Amino acid sequence: MKRLFYLNTIRWYARLPIKWTILGLATLAVCYPYPSLLARHVRHWQDPNALIEPDAVSLQPLAKDLRESLPPGLSATKTLQHVENFVYDRVPYEWDWNTWGMADYLPTVDEVLEKGREDCDGRAVVAASLLSGLGFKAEIVTDFAHVWVKTDQGETMGPGKHKTVVATDRGFEINWRGFAELPKALAYGVAVFPQERELILLLIAWFLLLDAKTGIKRSAIAFCCFLAGFYAVRIGGEDYRDSILWLQWIGVALFVGGIVILFLGNKSQAKLSEPVAPPV
């Protein structure tokens, strides 16, 4: 049993980095199991607008159909709406973990059309490419939970309320106020990501917090707190546009409570195990 918790025999300043590294590697393995695809994803996000390819060979049949479907004399606003509906119809929505086996992946136009389905970021890349071909100046925008398209004539592809990051010709324009939406975006990510993968990470985190001296009862109570907190955050974040913040905060409080239960239990057990000095 002691060998199972060997890490806890190491001094805390060496133990904590090791445990965080284990949790980080486990998170990468669960969320991004394909290193080469992750490397491409990171490279694509370094310059998302480079993925806007109006002249891509694979896009031309789609661009031809779009031009033929556009009514004459359509205003810029109506054109944006038409392109949005056109892309929604031609590129069915599908989560990245079903398409790519990854928590997130920003694809090229060719990759989207080869798969034939994508989530918001892939649809945005296709829409931006089509709009660019129609003469619009298109840019990729994100608020960390959703990706859409900003043009010189307005926004499309389900624009969010806060443009946190806009990819421009001059680089990224960042609205720091938009980072206030990050907790809500993370809760939404937890809500829609496959729960079996998340439960693996929950178990790993719980195990890393255990100590050889932690009792079974206390360990079980802490795990129940973690599990209840996980589902509170998951349920509270299901609707990104109208998330249940109070439920998410309850989830966070349950996580913290579980950690406190384990920490206080480990400290009290350590005191009990200390040798008692014989009376003088």
Residue 279 lies in a domain: no
Residues 160 and 191 in one domain: no
Rounded CA separation 2/252 (Å): 31
Residue 143: how many other CB atoms lie within 10 Å: 22
Residues 23 and 47 in one domain: no
- pLDDT at residue 275 above 60? no
pLDDT confidence bin for 254, thresholds 50/70/90: very high
Residue 256 lies in a domain: yes
Given the structure tokens 């989560």, which residue do they identify? 95
Given the structure tokens 């992946």, which residue do they identify? 105
Residues 169 and 77 in one domain: yes
Residue 277 lies in a domain: no
Residues 211 and 252 in one domain: yes
Single residue among 174, 203, 231 that ends a domain in this structure? 174
Residues 228 and 121 in one domain: no
pLDDT digits (tens, 9 = 90+) for 159-206: 988 888 999 888 888 888 888 888 889 999 999 999 999 999 999 999
Residues 82 and 149 in one domain: yes
Residues 126 and 62 in one domain: yes
Number of structural domains the chain divides into: 2
Residue 278 lies in a domain: no
Q: Are 144 and 172 in contact (CB under 8 A)?
A: no
pLDDT digits (tens, 9 = 90+) for 32-75: 999 999 999 999 999 999 999 999 999 999 999 999 999 999 99
Q: Are 87 and 101 in contact (CB under 8 A)?
A: no
- pTM score of the predicted model: 0.87
Residues 164 and 188 in one domain: no
**Tokens, residue 116:** 């034939």
Rounded CA separation 43/164 (Å): 19
Residues 103 and 191 in one domain: no
Residues 49 and 162 in one domain: yes
User: Where in the sequence is the domain holding 119, given as residue range(s)?
Assistant: 36-174
- List strands edge to edge, sheet with 138-142: 154-156, 147-151, 138-142, 165-168, 171-174
Residues 81 and 135 in one domain: yes
